[in-house]
Structure 1
Amino acid sequence: MSKRVGLAAVLIGLLLLTAGQVLAASSWKPDQRQLFDIQLTTPFNLVRPVGLIELDLFDTSPEQIKTLKAKGARTACYINAGAWESWRPDADAYPKKLIGRAFSGWPNERWVDIRERDALGRILDKRLELCQRKGFDAVDFDNVDGYANQTGFPLNAKDQIAYNRWLADEARRYGLAVALRNSFELVPELVQDFDFLVAESCFSKNACEPLKAFREADKPVFVVEYTNIRRKMDRFCQDARELDVQLIFKTQSLNGKLHARCP
């Protein structure tokens, strides 16, 4: 065997090994029976038993991920893919032309132009690499429904579907399972592109019907409602059982406090 042929064989072997590692890393998918929690602000509660917990990409340390994994928990990193956040360490990486109107209710966030795929890609690529390096198993991209809001850009549903599918593809390049966040009207178009769904306040908004598509595809749905009013919680839990989705009740700040979990 010549040196050239031998080198080629080694390179091919390394490529196959790498591909196998990525496939192994991305083969995990969440299960509807895993107890879900989401915590994005301190104080965290990482002692409470969970099967899958979503945590902020930047504010969670690799050591915390290791501790959770040692307990058998899976982890998802939170990434705001549709808005610029002024306090993030990579905030200066966003070109000014990408930053649009303020996000209603969140004064330090502004929508971004999701059509600028190259510029956003460079930023999100680094975030996904960090997510993978810290040891997360999955990613949840937030604010992926800009087309339905006043962003300052002429976005439409077609733009949003293309962007969301691109996000899912990018996540899988890093071996991460990927969640669709809200975007209820686009669920029929995107259910095949995502591994699970995280929905906020859909019962209080009477907007949970589209979630059926994920359950019919045997994909998990985790719903978060922001209330601790008992009569509402009881009614929403009944609705969640009928839809076969998991429902938890949290504070709006998404810290470590858990009001309740539907039985």
Structure 2
Amino acid sequence: MRFPPALPSRAALILVAAAAPLLTACGGVAGPRDTAASPSSPSSASVPPLAHAGLDYQLGGAYTPPKGVGVVVRDHTASPAPGAYNVCYVNAFQAQPGAEDEWDPDLLLRDGAGDVVVDKDWDEAVLDIGTAGKRERVARRVNAWIDSCADKGFDAVEPDNYDTYTRVPDGLLSAADAEAFASLLAAHAHARGLAIGQKNTAELAKDRERVGFDFAVVEECGQYEECGTYTRAFGDRVLVIEYTAQGMRRACDGWGDELAVLRRDLDLVTPDDEGYTRATCADL
């Protein structure tokens, strides 16, 4: 699922390792790191968000974070929130609504009849990451957005729609395609000093080290009772967003002492808009 697009100092927002801390180039303290060397291994400058931090999810529009928020997620077209750990959202696996003409025609996934495959839930054309060559070409454009995130001063990136392969006709895309593409993004994010978060897709969480993900951004793991799947893979480096009272209660009862848990409205509107909802476990 995905939607349109005085605070602590940054040093206070860095996850502290249980073992001896490692100083980063950003002046903070690094959290636990994967030691296996690979093209997507995090650099010394890429640090995941603080566990169990105050969280705000602002994809529907940027606004001043409420008191106590230390981690903010905003669209890549926005600017980071001053004083917070900032996660930059990019729609990586699908074209934005109405933006399919901005992509080379052969990079849009097509069905057996030659028609562009559209994710009907979001009215977005699916990008074709089914071959190594096409993955590289799509990644070049998404990585340019990641560059913009880094240049603006974001701390991490959240590439959305990792699970697109589950919403296309059988055989057109696979989990292996999604992981191979995500690995390209992870390697680039780490090279730019950004951490990278896995978005949803519980079934692939077990592969997070191999792909290169540092933390997870998870919608409705309480509602669908999946939070444990993510914590087994990521520990407490999981940002949880719920959209229902039931899901929020489950997430808070089971994981509220360990994870950053937030309830938002489905449209992720700003506080000035009708329908704005924001709550934390402390509000229950």
The Cα shift of 1:233 comes to 3.3
- Higher fraction of strand: 1
Question: What secondary structure sits across from 2:126 in the alignment?
Answer: strand
Specify every segment of 5 or more residues in structure 1 that has no aligned partner in the other structure, as ranges.
Answer: 1-19
Residue 242 of structure 2: aligned partner = 225
Q: Does 1:234 align with 2:249?
A: yes
Instruction: Deviation per CA, 1:186-211: give whole Å up to 9, x if none.
Output: 00011462111000112212333311
Q: Are 1:247 and 2:261 an aligned pair?
A: yes
Q: Which residue of 2 aligns with 1:262?
A: 281
- Distance in 2 (alpha carbons) for counterparts of 1:47 and 1:248: 13
* 1:125 lines up with 2:143 in the alignment: yes
CA distance in 2, matches of 1:167, 1:178: 8
Which of 1 and 2 has greater Rg? 1
Maintained 8 Å contact 2:263/2:280: yes
1:161 maps to which of 179, 191, 194: 179
What secondary structure, in the 3-state scheme, does the structure 2 residue paired with 1:222 have? strand
Alignment of 1:127-146 (within 5 A): 127-146=145-164
Residue 92 of structure 2 is aligned to residue 81 of structure 1? yes
Shift of 1:87: 5.0
Residue aligning to 1:37: 56
Query: Where does structure 1 differ by over 4 angstroms across 4 or more consecutive aligned residues?
Result: 20-24
1:129/1:233 Cα in 2 relative to 1: closer, same or farther (>3 Å)? closer
Give the equivalent residue in structure 1 for 2:6. none
TM-score by length of 1: 0.77
3-state secondary structure, aligned to 1:37: strand
Give CA-to-partner distance per residue, 1:129-174, whole Å, 9 cap, x none: 1111111111000001122221686211221221222221111121
Aligned match of 1:102: 118
Equivalent position SS for 1:204: coil
Count of residues in correspondence between the two structures = 226
Aligned equivalents of 2:171, 2:95: Cα separation in 1: 14
Gaps of 5+ in 2: 1-24, 27-41, 110-116, 271-275
- Aligned residues: CA RMSD: 2.5
Query: What is the percentage of aligned positions where both structures have the same residue?
Result: 29
Q: CA, structure 1 residues 235+205, in 2 after alignment: closer, same or farther (shift >3 Å)?
A: closer
Q: How many angstroms apart in 2 are the aligned matches of 1:198 and 1:77?
A: 11
Cα distance per residue 1:101-131 (max 9 Å; x no partner): 2213212x12111231222122112111111
CA distance in 1, matches of 2:250, 2:221: 13
Looking at structure 2, the residues matched to 152 and 85 of structure 1 have their Cα atoms a distance apart, in angstroms, of: 23
* Partners of 2:167 and 2:60 in 1: CA distance: 25
